[in-house]
Amino acid sequence: MNIIKKKFITCPICNSNEYRSCYTKDFCIYINEDQYLWPTKQVICKNCGMIYTNPQPAKEILNLYYNAYSRYGEIFKSFSFRKAQIEFFKRNIPNNLKRVLEIGSFDGTFLNCLKELGFEIHGIEPSKEGVNAALKNYGINLEHTFFDKAYVDKFLASNKEKFDIVLFLHVFEHIPEPLDFLRLVLKVTKDNGVIFIEVPDAQRPTVENVADFFSIEHIMYYTEASLRNIAYVLGLDILVIERPIEDSVIRAIFVNKDHNKEKSPQCIKLINEFEQNKQIIERYKIKREEFLNTIRKKLNGLKQVIIYGAGMHTSQLISEGLLDGIEIQAIVDSNPKKWNRNIFGFLIQSPYFLKEAKVPVLISSYSSQEEISRFLTKTYPHIEQIKLY
């Protein structure tokens, strides 16, 4: 088994090298059919309380991982969640701002909503799958690229008009160097333009999911205080920060005020939430173990199963030992990109494999469970389904 290459970093906000380990977990993943041990370790900065992964995986490993698991951009969201995002946007974005760039547009769903509201939309997306979906579903042409220094240098050299609004939804938590990333964002944002960020709320870590909140692909864990600290360091005005009751996310809008200047973290008083975050993670550990025990009870007595889903949810399901003692007959996935790849000793099959299935199918997905269930009910009504949620 290969070991993931890693490097130690200082706090991504205040640059302190004083931290405390708070959460560790080993995961097994597959990249290009090679098996990797991915030991994750989350720490809390003693100076400001930022929760982050340390050591960090090498950038090339992260890129390979995302390509293998197709997790660029925002995952499926319910209608009510999307409506709440749009209402937040309409309620808080100044009326005179119209030119929008979305970083990590995935399939273009949010951009399409903005297009229907009359905004001039632009988007970039590193996954070809997302670019193709945006064009097919909405007729939106996304740039197939990463948002990085090379992109920004090319953009500025072209003398293109800067953007009134730059937004990234469920992207920021994946970024290894958040301050550098935002500095690049500011370069393509007009003076008095705004930056809209949405991230999972680390003060309310979701427990009811086999896929661990403190997982692999998320390497930064933001709270309202850590976002405020970032704004202070970069000299940004905070237009609004909201933590909706119904969803465990934070929505924030910063203003690119041209009169502000970046400040050294050593020269300003940052919010320190070290003690609060330490307690949050300790409570999470207890609640997560209670949740995993409910899953074990649900799977108790199961002898054989076919798994539907070949993503990180399945990797974590197996890594947690939740399927120990259960014979896995096959792993199925609807994504043709994954067919015939080898994971955990199984060649991933297309859903057509289920035509002759005689054992229960375990739906290994949190966000898409009901969508998969409807497909199975319609296409293979003879199959017994096992839902974890």
Give the residues across from 25 on adjacent strands: 40
Which tens digit of pLDDT belongs to each residue from 33-49? 677 777 889 999 999 99
- Can you tell me the distance from the alpha carbon of 296 to that of 22, in angstroms, rounded to the nearest whole number? 25
Q: Cβ of 156: how many Cβ atoms within 10 Å?
A: 12
Maximum Cα interatomic distance, the chain, rounded to a whole number of Å? 68
- Can you tell me the distance from the alpha carbon of 132 to that of 106, in angstroms, rounded to the nearest whole number? 9
pTM for this predicted structure: 0.91
Q: Give Cβ neighbours of residue 221 (< 8 Å, ≥ 6 apart).
A: 42, 50, 51, 52, 173, 200, 202, 214
pLDDT above 80: residue 219: yes
Confidence of residue 72 (pLDDT cuts 50, 70, 90): very low
**What's the DSSP call for residue 160?**
P
Confidence of residue 67 (pLDDT cuts 50, 70, 90): low
**Which two tokens mark 367?**
């966000």
Instruction: Taking residues 368-378, report their average pLDDT.
Output: 95
Helices (H) then strands (E): counts for the chain: 10, 19
Instruction: Taking residues 338-351, report their average pLDDT.
Output: 90
Give the residues across from 19 on adjacent strands: 45
**Which two tokens mark 149?**
């220094």
| Dihedral sign (CA 307, 312, 317, 323) | positive
pLDDT above 70: residue 168: yes
Task: Enter the CATH code of domain 79-277.
Answer: 3.40.50.150
pLDDT above 80: residue 5: no
- Can you tell me the distance from the alpha carbon of 136 to that of 325, in angstroms, rounded to the nearest whole number? 43
In the chain, which segments carry CATH 3.40.50.150?
Answer: 79-277
The region of weakest confidence among 290-294, 335-339, 345-349 is: 335-339
159 vs 308, residue with greater confidence = 308
Please give the CATH topology (third level) of the domain spanning 301-386: Rossmann fold (3.40.50)
Q: What is the pLDDT of residue 216?
A: 78
**Which two tokens mark 174?**
């994946």
In the chain, which segments carry CATH 3.40.50.720?
Answer: 301-386
Average pLDDT of the chain is: 91
Q: Which of 208-222, 312-326, 349-363 has the highest mean pLDDT?
A: 349-363
Which of 320, 256, 291, 266 is closest to 389 using CA atoms?
Answer: 291
Exposed/middle/buried for residue 377 (C-beta within 10 Å: 0-12, 13-18, 19+) = exposed
Amino acid in the structure at residue 307: I
